[in-house]
Amino acid sequence: MIYKLVIFIISLTFFFSCNSHNNAESVDNLVEQLSIQKNKLNMVEVETIDAAFKAFQYNVGNLNRCVDSFSLELGNALNYYKGIKKIKPIDFKTKHDALHKKINNQINQIELLSHDISLGLIPTDSIPIYATMEKQNIDAVTLEILTHYSDYMYVKKANDSLDSYFKTIIKRACEGV
């Protein structure tokens, strides 16, 4: 109930704050938000996830095989590193592709809205309602992209900082094996 009330208040605020003069600006702002999110999504390199996951499997397998006991430092590093296994490359790639489709669909939707507004096909008093709905869709996609990007940065950071560390330990521990 509270959620509906909040949405209603936000919708009313948006409705009364918009007028026909700034409707184009409102749509332009939505396009700009989508452009920023698309750029962020394009910065994600799916191949990095694949390489990190393969390195993770190699490192953990050899640590388990060659290292008899873990120091506190090694245990803490390994616990941090194990977060990589929660982000499986195939799932990550599938989500990445789906997010590209979502953002492209949203861009098309905004372009169609802008076109309809420019042709006068949408009544002026209805434009804020459409803009609010599109803003909500963009916010949902933005949240998904931020989570996806955060997962990417976690895997990249964990792999970049710990892969060589574990490979050095493995090399020392497995020399006689």
- Chain Cα centroid distance, residue 139: 12
Q: Are 80 and 159 in contact, with CB atoms under 8 Å apart?
A: no
Residue 12 predicted with pLDDT over 50:
no
Q: What is the mean pLDDT of residues 73-100?
A: 92
**Tokens found for residue 148:** 């996806």
Question: pTM score, two decimals?
Answer: 0.79
Residue 18 CB contacts under 8 Å (≥ 6 apart), including other chains: 26, 127, 128, 131
Q: What is the pLDDT of residues 129-167, one digit of tens each?
A: 998 999 999 999 999 999 999 999 999 999 999 999 999
How many residues comprise the chain? 177
